[in-house]
Amino acid sequence: MLEWLYNNLANILILLAVAGIVALAIVAMIRDKKAGKSSCGCNCANCAMAGKCHSAVNKKKS
């Protein structure tokens, strides 16, 4: 068992690093969503769904 861990140590460390980065990205996305930030960049000039994804913001302004 220890020999297997030693032989695959580099792979295990890389996997843990990638998993940590993915976890941090997910946490950041959840925080942004709770803060009301949009993930689309809010450039709705050429977006076909502009009326759908920002309808709550548009209703508040009206």
Dihedral sign (CA 23, 49, 37, 39): positive
Task: Provide, rounded to the nearest whole percent, the portion of the chain with pLDDT above 90.
Answer: 45
Cα–Cα distance, 10 to 18 (Å, whole number): 12
pLDDT of 50 > 80? The answer is no
pLDDT tier, 36 (very low <50, low <70, confident <90, very high otherwise): confident
State the average pLDDT over residues 19-48.
Answer: 81
Indicate whether this model's pTM tops 0.85: no
CA nearest neighbour of 12 among 26, 27, 1, 24: 1
Split at pLDDT 50, 70, 90, the class of 17 is very high
Euclidean distance between CA atoms 26 and 19, whole angstroms: 11
Domain span at residue 13?
A: 2-61
Query: 3-state DSSP call for residue 14?
Result: helix
Query: How many domains does the structure of the chain reveal?
Result: 1
